[in-house]
Amino acid sequence: MRVAINGMGRIGRLLFRRLLQESGVQIVAINDVMDPGNLAYLLKYDSVYGTFETPLAYEKGFLTAGEQKVAVFQQNDPLHLPWKDLEVDLVLECSGQFTSKAKASLHLKAGAQKVLLSTTGSNDIDLMIYGFNQHLLTPETQIVSPGGCMTNCSTHLLYLFNSIGIESAQFHVLHSYTSRQLLVDGPHKQFRRGRAAGESIVPVEVDLFQSLEILFPMLKGKISSLSTRIPVANGAMADLTLVLKQPATKEEVNKLLKTAADTEYKGILEYTEEEVVSLDIKGNKHSLVIDGSLTTVIGNQVKVIAWFDNEYGYTSRIIDWLYYWNKQ
Which residues have a catalytic role annotated? 149
Instruction: Answer yes or no: are the C-beta atoms of 275 and 289 closer than 8 Å.
Output: no
Phi/psi at 222 (5° precision): -115, 5
Q: State the Cα–Cα distance between residues 260 and 254, nearest whole angstrom.
A: 10
Residues 6+ apart with CB under 8 A from 57: 40, 63, 64
Residue 15: which of 327, 288, 314, 281 has the closest Cα? 314
HEC string of 6-18? ECCCHHHHHHHHH
Q: State the Cα–Cα distance between residues 63 and 57, nearest whole angstrom.
A: 6
Q: State the Cα–Cα distance between residues 2 and 24, nearest whole angstrom.
A: 9
Q: State the Cα–Cα distance between residues 240 and 38, nearest whole angstrom.
A: 40
Instruction: Answer yes or no: are the C-beta atoms of 291 and 235 closer than 8 Å.
Output: no
- The two most distant CA atoms of the chain are separated, in Å, by 65
For 257, the enclosing helix (H) or strand (E) is helix 250-262
Residues 6+ apart with CB under 8 A from 118: 7, 11, 12, 15, 92, 93, 94, 96, 146, 314, 318
Q: State the Cα–Cα distance between residues 206 and 278, nearest whole angstrom.
A: 21
The DSSP string of 144-180 is: EE---HHHHHHHHHHHHHHTT-EEEEEEEEEEE--TT
